[in-house]
Structure 1
Amino acid sequence: MRRLGELEAAIMDVLWSASAPLTVREVLGALDRDPEPAYTTVMTVLDNLHRKDNVTRERVGRAWAYRPAQTREEFDAEAMAAVLESSTDRGATLLRFIGKISPEELARLRELMDAAEEPR
């Protein structure tokens, strides 16, 4: 899984925050960037995200409306799994990751792991 570029990530943030599919113009209006990117730039980035299966699109009149293909959490989980898959030493990578998270996040991770191990 390839990481998102800066503008791709900003556009995905807009889409993940939306409750409905957005057109290029709506995405452009919701972006908080200075300077504001050109309409055609946002359109190209959305088209690229569609080709990479990060977003789906549907016709709304003459325009395309875009929505994320995955939730933010699904996307992040896949990115984390890809990092582990590319590691030559998964244990060392996990240990380094655990060393970088806060005590509160570590406690939450323990809770989630315990819950996952409970018989269903």
Structure 2
Amino acid sequence: MSRLGELEAAIVRALWERDHPAGVPELHENLRPEQCVTAPGLQRALKNLHRAGLLARRRSCGTYVYWPTVSRAELRDLLISQVLGTARADHRYTLTCVKRIID
């Protein structure tokens, strides 16, 4: 995954806050209304996060449930290294991106 967008960040945060795996219906309820995400859009984002190795999944009652495979610290370190690789000159941008993800 080349970039973690706001929706993907919101999904990972929502899964960190849960104590068990969640599927699309549960996550759709947990995301803020201003995300304005459709169920297919959420499924696409979950699939992308899974492909990137940030989420694991298994089938449960005919649908996938997801959980994070990385801790907040691991994701922070990954994002810092990615952002530094693409935006070395603008440290404020880097700090803003990382803060948005981990807060």
Q: Which runs of 5+ in 1 are unaligned?
A: 101-120
State the Cα distance separating 1:83 from its structure 2 match.
4.4
State the Cα distance separating 1:20 from its structure 2 match.
0.8
Identify the residue that residue 8 of structure 1 maps to in structure 2.
Answer: 8
Cα separation, 2, equivalents of 1:35 and 1:22: 18
Letter in 2 for 1:7: L
Percent of paired sites with the same residue: 33
Map 1:80-119 onto structure 2 (within 5 A): 80-84=80-84, 86=85
Cα separation, 1, equivalents of 2:64 and 2:52: 16
Using the size of structure 2 for normalisation, the TM-score is: 0.74
Cα separation, 2, equivalents of 1:24 and 1:32: 14
Identify the residue that residue 65 of structure 2 maps to in structure 1.
Answer: 65
Letter in 2 for 1:70: V
Q: Which runs of 5+ in 2 are unaligned?
A: 96-103
1:46 paired to 2:43 = no
Identify the residue that residue 37 of structure 1 maps to in structure 2.
Answer: 37
Aligned residues, how many? 92
Using the size of structure 1 for normalisation, the TM-score is: 0.64
Cα–Cα, structure 1 residues 78 and 63, in superposed 2: closer, same or farther, change >3 Å?
same
State the Cα distance separating 1:35 from its structure 2 match.
5.8
Letter in 1 for 2:62: R
Higher relative contact order (CA 8 A, sep 6+): 2
Cα separation, 1, equivalents of 2:34 and 2:83: 32
Q: Give CA-to-partner distance per residue, 1:52-86, whole Å, 9 cap, x none.
A: 111100111111000011011111022223445x3
Q: 2:48 aligns to what SS in structure 1? A: helix
Identify the residue that residue 75 of structure 1 maps to in structure 2.
Answer: 75
